[in-house]
Amino acid sequence: MSHSLLRFVQGAMVALLCSNVSVIAKQTADFRIETDVMEAGKAKPIDQSVTLFSGGSAFDYSRETPNRILVVDPINNHIALMDSQRQIQTRINLQQLQSGIESAKNKLLQAEGGPEKIEDAAQTSFDPATGVISIGKRFIRYDAKLQQPASPEFAVQYATFANVSALINASQSRGSAPPPFARLHLNQAIGERESIPSEIKRTVFAGGREVVMVSRIHPTYSLSAAEKKQIEQFNTMLLSFDPVDLATFNR
Q: pLDDT at position 14, please? A: 45
pTM: 0.86
- Measured in whole angstroms, the distance separating CA 232 from the mean position of its chain's CA atoms is 23
Residue 250: what residue type?
Answer: N
The range of the structural domain enclosing residue 72 comes to: 3-249
Residue 233 backbone phi and psi in degrees, to 5? -65, -40
Residue 47 backbone phi and psi in degrees, to 5? -155, 145
Q: Which residues of 40-49 are buried (b: 16+ CB within 10 A; e: fewer)?
A: eeeeebeeeb
Q: pLDDT at position 18, please? A: 47
Instruction: From residue 26, give the alpha-carbon distance in Å to each of 23, 83, 156.
Output: 5, 30, 12
pLDDT digits (tens, 9 = 90+) for 24-72: 545 568 999 999 999 999 989 999 999 999 999 999 999 999 999 999 9
E strands, the chain, are 31-39, 47-54, 57-62, 68-73, 78-83, 88-93, 124-127, 132-135, 140-147, 196-206, 209-220, 242-243
Q: pLDDT at position 167, please? A: 83
How many CB atoms neighbour CB 63 within 10 A? 12
Residues 6+ apart with CB under 8 A from 142: 133, 134, 135, 136, 182, 183, 186, 200, 201, 202, 203
Q: pLDDT at position 174, please? A: 57
- Tens place of pLDDT per residue across the chain (251 aa): 344 443 444 444 444 444 454 445 455 689 999 999 999 999 899 999 999 999 999 999 999 999 999 999 988 989 999 999 999 999 998 877 777 777 777 887 888 888 898 899 999 999 999 999 999 999 999 999 999 999 988 998 999 899 989 888 877 665 556 678 899 999 999 999 999 999 999 999 988 899 999 999 999 999 999 999 999 999 999 999 999 999 999 98
- How many structural domains compose the chain? 1
